[in-house]
Amino acid sequence: MNPHADDLVLFARVVEAGSFSRAAERCGLPKATVSRRISALEAALGERLMTRTTRQLAITEFGERILEHARRLLDETEAASALAQHRQATPQGTLRVSLPPGFLEELELVPFLIEFAERHPEVRLQLDISPRRVDVVAERFDLAVRVAARLPDDATLVARRMIDLERGLYASPAYLARRGRPATPGQLRGHTALPLVASDGELQPWRLAREGEHWEGLPPGQLAVNSIGLICTLATHGMGVAGLHERAAGALVARGLLERVLPGWRLPTMTVWGVMPGRRLLPARTRAFVDMLATALTVTGARDD
C-alpha cells in the first residue's frame, strides 16, 4: 500500500507541533483522527516513524529519513496555498519598474499605463526610464522590461517572454528618392545609417537574413542614438536608413512617412521580456502589472496586424 501524500504532510505537521494534541488543534482535526492517520501511514510504510509516550514524541531513524520528504511536501503545499492567497489579494504598495526609453510610446502602451493606474489605485508606480541594464536585485526593482534577442543566464532572476518583434530596415520616401532604393544588402554601403547604440555603448551592426542568405554590416552614419523613438523621428525626416521593429514603423509606413527597404530581408527578431527577482512568489502588484502588460502587447499587436 502506497503512503498518502496528505498523511506525509500531516506527519511533518505533528513533528513541527511536537505533539498530536497541538498538531490536531493547528490542523482543525480531532486528535484521534491525527493518531489514526499517522498509524495508517506507518502501516503503509511498514515501519514506525515515531515512538509515543505520555510526555513526548521520539522520531525513529527511519522517521528522520521520511521527514525530509514530508517537509518538502509540506513546503510545496504551503507555497501553493500562499500562491492562491496572493492571486486573490488586492494589489497594493510601491511597484518599481525599469523601462527602456520610448518603450511605452513606441508600442502605444500609454493607455495601458493609465488603465493600470485606474484599476489598481492602491499601487504606487515608480517608473525608471533608462537605457542601462539595471541590477534588478541590488537596486530593488520589482520588474525590468527588456527588449533583446536573448537574456544572459542569471539564477537570481526569472524572465517572462511577452511578445516577439519582427524587424527590418526603413527609410523615408524622400530619402530613398534622393539616394536611391538599394536592391541588395551590398548596396547599403552607399547609404547613411541611423544605428542604435547598445547598452554597452557599442553600435549594433545590421545582421540581415533571407531564406538562408546572410549579410552583416553597418553603413557610415553621422548620428547614433540609444532611443528607437528618436531613430524613428530621424528616419521620417530623411536622415538615413534605420533598423526598426515593425510595431514602431507600421503606423509611419501607413501614413507614408516611412518605406520598407529591402523588404525580403529581415533583421533578427527582438523579444520583449519581463525580468523579475527569482522569488518563489511574486507580489500581487507585480503579477497584475505583468499580466496586464502582456495582454496589452498582444492586443496592440493584433490590432496592428
All three cell numbers of 261, joined, read 527597404
Residue pLDDT, tens place only, 124-179: 999 999 878 888 888 889 999 998 878 777 777 888 999 999 999 999 999 999 99
Confidence of residue 305 (pLDDT cuts 50, 70, 90): very low
Nine-digit cell at 182?
A: 538599394
| CB distance 196 to 275 below 8 Å | no
- Cα(280)–Cα(144) distance, integer angstroms: 17
> Where residue 87 falls among pLDDT bands split at 50, 70, 90?
low
Asked if pLDDT for residue 85 goes beyond 70, the answer is no
- How would you class 220 by CB atoms within 10 Å of its CB: exposed for 0-12, middle for 13-18, buried for 19 or more? exposed
Amino acid letter, residue 233:
T
CA 20 to each of CA 12, 56, 66, 275, 294: distance values in angstroms, whole numbers, following the listed order: 11, 10, 18, 45, 48
Whether 80 and 124 map to the same domain: the answer is no
Which residue, of 58, 88, 118, is where some domain finishes?
88
Backbone angles phi, psi at 194, to 5 degrees: -115, 80
Are 193 and 163 spatial neighbours (Cβ–Cβ below 8 Å)? no
On whether the CB atoms of residues 242 and 194 are closer than 8 A, the answer is yes
CATH, residue 302: 3.40.190.290
Q: How many domains does the structure of the chain reveal?
A: 2
Domain CATH for 82 = 1.10.10.10
Judgement on whether residues 74 and 43 belong to the same structural domain of the protein = yes
Torsion angle of the four alpha carbons 230, 206, 193, 242, in this order, in degrees rounded to the nearest 10 = -40
Confidence bin at 300 (pLDDT 50/70/90): low
Q: Which residues is 213 bridged to in the sheet?
A: 210
The H-or-E segment that residue 200 falls in is none
